[in-house]
Chains A and B, each alone.
Chain A
Amino acid sequence: MISYLIKRVFQMVVVLWVVSIIVFTMMSFTGDPTYMMVPLDATEDEIANARMLLGLDKPYIVQYGIFLKNILGGDFGRSFVFRQPALGLIMERMPATVEMVLVAMTLALLLAIPLGVFAGAYPQKKTSRGIMAGSLLGISLPNFWVGMMLIFILAVRFNILPSSGRGDTLRMMGVNLSILTPDGFKHIILPAVTLCFSTLAILLRITRAGMMEVMKQDFIKFARAKGATFRSVLFKHALKNVLIPVVTIFGLQLGDLIGFATITEYIFAWPGMGKLLIDSIYMGDRPVIVVYLMFVAFLFVIINFTVDVIYTLIDPRIKLR
């Protein structure tokens, strides 16, 4: 067990290190940030001076070394735009993003699994076919367009829900949560629903496909031969077996959720990391972009690790190796 943990941690570190190299290299090609830091009427000397202060005159390898050293110390530099430590900016906005993603995730799971089980158990029924067509539509929807449609119909035309912003929050366990206030709740619904569409559709399809495969297995027939009710066959015998591919896909989907959250935040002006990223890209705010990417990479290795651990809980045949 310990050796497994050590191995995983080592792998995680390697991945993060590789990511840092890639991020640094790409960022070095995005033009000279010196111009962002100096006033518009700076002289050549002042610019050269600034460049030296920023360490941009040194060879790339050295720059990378400094970069790495700083990161390990938690220093991601200061945002060019906000003049605040970049890491702090991301951390401030993280709870908003996480909350939206979690709500979207929960919605997706609550709907996808029962619908998928039904569609997989009775694939020939008209309702099942309808569900599948709907799920196909779900993965064909452009995420940004859905958000816009929802805003237009519910916020502009009928004025039921707000079109942007986060609304009130309540502090619980040191974190500000929107879902705990009615106003906050109204603000979070549309973004979360927009976000959950594609994940919902994909999870539904995976659940259905998994169900159809599992239902063909011998142990299902054996369970029926014992006299088990169809419902217990579905939810006790079949579902657990289906969870394995579902958990895999879900882990991957979490990544896509975080990715699409950027777009959703942009549309709804939701004050999370994603909106910060988009704004930073527009304004060429390098440090913030770097922090965001490293943070997301970090989030990912954690998610992957958690998914692997969850496997062993579901399937006794799988051991941590």
Chain B
Amino acid sequence: MQRLLRKARALWASEFAHNFRGNISAIVGGVIILFFVFIVAFGPSLVKQNPYEIASLQLTDAYKPPVWLSGGDPNYFLGTDGQGRDVLASIVYGTRISLFIGLSAMICSSLIGASLGLIAGYYGGRLDGVIMRIADVQLSFPSILIALFLMSAFGKGIDNILISLTCVGWVIYARTVRGSTLSEKQKEYVQAAKAAGLSNRLIIVRHILPNVVTPLIVVSTIQIGTFILIEASLSFLGVGVPITKPSLGLLVKNGFDVLLSGLWWTSVFPGAFIMLLVFGINLLGDFLRDELNPRLK
């Protein structure tokens, strides 16, 4: 316990924390993320309606505007959609789905991408050539098109989305990790370990991996945002999440149909939440990147 306290205090006084406190963007990013964590954890219990229980919906309450406009209803803070679903409640549930997909995709693609990158960087040779070739070809294609194409072939569904996002996202992890691996491989302590007879696997895990973690963290934070946006775009086009599990993107799509009639709250608010979420993640990611980059010091 004492050690934990000491470490916490050291962290608080460290340059990292000092820079964090002095950096408005980082603080704003942190606040935003905390806000979303709160929504995900406590949202459903705080919001009175579960928008997916058909029984709880009142069709007569359809298309009510937000509470501060005329016709608004304090029960439905941000208004309702065409089925009487509370927009705020939909957003709460939708955020969970969007965030879940973003995080899962990040974990999957980072695992696969980092492994491939490590293997390519460490073992080199033909394996490296092949992996990098594929990566290069894939990188020259817009990721959104690849994802779109894959989803049109696979069909809707969260597992399909995860597969598509992983197919699209592994490349940047592989490249980053491969780069770090290559530069670590040259270093003397790795040569020394090899000379001492350490097995390749041990060297990779014990020596190379820790040094690869830093760029990996930076890339991962930014990738979560990217994945959330891609999923939102796919869902908006109707090839993403199924109707039963509406992410924020799908909510926007549903609202798009009535936008031109002036019923704006069903699409504007979910979209704003997407933006806020990704913005918060990017703010933190940016800060992390500046902090963890020794070159800019």
Contacts and interface: CB of A to CB of B under 8 A. Distances in A.
A18 B142 CA distance: 16
B96 to A, nearest CB: 18
B157 interface: no
Contacts of B137: 15, 18-19
Interface residues of A, number: 50
Contact of A148 (B25, B143, B259, B281): B259
Nearest to A307: B140
A152 interface: yes
B286 interface: yes
Contact of B148 (A137, A142, A281, A300): A281
Contacts of B152: 30, 281, 289
B162 to A, nearest CB: 17
B149 A293 contact: yes
Contacts of A255: 140-142
B40 interface: no
Interface in A252-306: 252, 255-260, 262-263, 266-267, 277-278, 281-282, 289, 293, 296-297, 300-301, 303-304
B142 A258 contact: yes
A207 B139 CA distance: 21
Contacts of B225: 139-140
Nearest to B228: A142
B259 A145 contact: no
Contact of B139 (A252, A281, A282): A252
Interface string B53-81: 00000000000000000000000000000
Interface string B230-255: 00110011110000000001001000
A142 B144 contact: no
Given A18-B137, A151-B259, A281-B239, A30 B153 contact: yes
Contacts of B237: 263, 266, 278, 281
B269 to A, nearest CB: 10
Interface in A123-164: 129, 132-133, 136-137, 139-145, 148-149, 151-152, 156, 163
A139 B153 contact: no
A26 interface: yes
- The CB with the most chain A CB atoms within 10 A, among B25, B149, B268, is that of B149
A177 B78 CA distance: 42
B141 A140 contact: no
Contacts of A263: 144, 233, 236-237
B221 interface: no
A15 B283 CA distance: 37
A27 interface: yes
Contact of A136 (B141, B229, B271, B286): B286
A104 interface: no
B94 to A, nearest CB: 13
Nearest to A143: B233
A4 interface: no
Secondary structure call for the B interface: helix
B149 A26 contact: yes
B172 to A, nearest CB: 11
B268 A141 contact: no
B296 interface: yes
A26 B50 CA distance: 38
B126 to A, nearest CB: 17
A29 interface: yes
B25 A259 contact: no
A297 B233 contact: no
Interface stretch (B100-108, B117-125, B272-280): B272-280
A81 B283 CA distance: 46
Contacts of A29: 153
A163 B260 contact: yes
A200 interface: no
- The CB with the most chain A CB atoms within 10 A, among B225, B239, B260, is that of B260
Contacts of A260: 142, 144
A152 B264 contact: yes
Contacts of A297: 141
Interface in A10-60: 15, 18-19, 23, 26-27, 29-30
30 contacts: A26-B149, A27-B153, A30-B153, A132-B25, A136-B279, A140-B275, A140-B278, A140-B279, A140-B281, A142-B229, A144-B232, A144-B252, A145-B268, A145-B272, A148-B267, A148-B268, A149-B268, A149-B271, A156-B260, A156-B262, A256-B143, A260-B144, A263-B233, A278-B237, A281-B148, A289-B152, A293-B149, A296-B141, A296-B142, A296-B145
Those 5 A-B pairs whose CB atoms lie nearest each other, nearest first: A259-B142, A145-B271, A140-B279, A140-B278, A259-B144
Given A142-B274, A151-B260, A152-B259, 17 more contacts: A19-B137, A30-B153, A143-B229, A144-B232, A144-B236, A145-B271, A145-B272, A148-B267, A163-B260, A255-B141, A256-B142, A260-B142, A262-B145, A266-B237, A267-B256, A277-B148, A289-B149
